[in-house]
Amino acid sequence: MAFVQVAIVFSVAFIVTYCAVPLSRRIAVALGAIDQPGYRRVNRGPVPRCGGIALYLGLCAAFLASYIGLVFFDWQLNDLYTLSGINYIGLFLGISAMFAVGLVDDVTQLPPKLKFLGQVVSACIVAASGVSIGMVHTMFAQAGGYVSLGWLDFPLTVAYLVVFVNITNLIDGLDGLAAGIVAIACSSLLFLVWQRGSVTMALVCLAVIGVCLAFLRYNFFPASVFMGDCGSHLLGLMVGVISVSGVVRAQGFVVMLVPLVIAGVPVLDTMSAVVRRLRNHERIDHADFGHIHHRLMRAGLSQKRSVALLWLCSACLAVAGCLIGSFSGPVQIGIIALLAVALFVIIWYFGLFKPVLRHHYDNKGRSGPRLPHSQGKQVK
C-alpha cells in the first residue's frame, strides 16, 4: 500500500467531513433534530444531533476516491483471504440502511422495537453481501484446522454487527467520547488488518479514523454538534464490518474476541447496563445514570477529564487486543490473564455490577428471608 493511497483516502475523509459538519448542523436545525437540555443530558444548551450526516458523506467520499484510484489510476489493493466473495454494492446499501435507521430515529424518535428491527434488517443486508465470520480455527477441526460455522454463520454475523452498533450508541454520552473511542479502536484494527494482509480493510480503517478526527473538531467539549444515532449507528457498523472481515474471519476462537477487547470500554459499559436494568426489572433500552461516564462525573471529574480517562483506557485495551492478536501460546494466555485481572479491578472499583450483588450486601449478617434493597435498609 503506497503512501500516496494512504494520504489520499485519509485526507479526503478528513476534509469532506470537516467541511460537511456545518451543513449537517443546518440540516438538523431544519428537521428539528435538536438535543434540548434535560435531566439526563450533559449539554447546557440546545445542540443539533445529526452530525452523522457529515461522517457518512466523509466515508462515501473516501470510498469514491478509492474506487477512482482503483479504476483509473491502477491502485493495487491486494488482499489475501479476508475479502473474498463480497458484493460491495450490497455492502454499501447495508451501511446506508443502518445510517438511515439512525437518521430517522434522530428526527422522529423511533419506538425501540422498530429501531432494533431496522438494525437487524440493515445488518442482514451487510451479511448477505458477503461479510461473514465464515469459519474459525480450532484444534478439533479435521482438514486444515478450520471448521465452517454452517447455518450459524449468518445469524452470528448479524448478531455480531448489531452488538457493535448498540455498544457504540450506548457509549455516546459525553462530548467527543464515541468518536474518540472509535478512532482508537480503528487504529488498533488498522494494525491487525495490515498484519493479516488486507489492504482494502486498512484503507477503510484510515477512512473511519479520518472522519472521526475531523468530527472531533466540532464534537469535543463544548460540542457544537452531536453525531446522533445516525453517526453512532454508522460508526458502530463500520467497526463491526472491519472486525468481521479483517480480523475475525477465518481466525481462531481467541482471536474472535480481540475486537471485543479493543472495544472494551463500550462493551463493558453495555454489559453492566444490561445486567443493571434486568436486575431492576427495567427494559434493556431504559435510560439511566449508571453508565461509566456518569459514574466518573459523579466522582468529581469534568467532562474533559472523564473523556480523556476513557480514551486512555480504550488505548490500553487496544494495545492489549493487538498483543493478543499478534501472539499465541503461553504469551497470549498470559496477556489474557493480566487483562482479566485488570478488568476485575476496574469492575470492582467502579461497582459496575453492584446491582447483581446487592441482595448479598443488603442481607449480610441477617437470617430469615432475603429482603429487597429498600426494605433491607429499614431492618436494624
Q: Classify 48 as helix, strand or coil.
A: strand
Indicate the annotated binding residues for Mg(2+): 169, 229
The residues, any chain, with a CB within 8 Å of residue 223's CB and separated by 6 or more, are 43, 47, 175, 176
CA distance 295 to 229: 23
With 0-12 CB in 10 A as exposed, 13-18 as middle and 19+ as buried, what is 21? buried
DSSP state of 223: P
Give the orientation angle of helix 228-242 with respect to helix 88-108, to 10 degrees: 150
How far is it, in rounded angstroms, from Cα 90 to Cα 96? Answer: 10
Contacts of 30 (CB under 8 A, 6+ apart): none
Q: Please, what sign has the CA dihedral across residues 199, 205, 208, 209?
A: negative
Contacts of 16 by beta carbon, 8 Å cutoff, 6+ apart: 54, 57, 58, 61, 62
DSSP 116-185: HHHHHHHHHHHHHTT----EEE-TT-SSTTEEE-GGGHHHHHHHHHHHHHHHHHHHTTSTTHHHHHHHHH
For residues 63 and 131, what is the distance between their CA atoms, to the nearest angstrom? 17
Q: What are the grid coordinates assigned to 359, written together?
A: 441482595
Q: What three-state secondary structure class fits 8?
A: helix
Residues whose CB is less than 8 angstroms from the CB of residue 208 and which lie 6 or more positions away in sequence, other chains included: 13, 59, 182, 183, 186, 235, 238, 239, 242
Sequence-separated (6 or more) residues with CB below 8 Å from residue 109: none
The binding site consists of: 169, 229
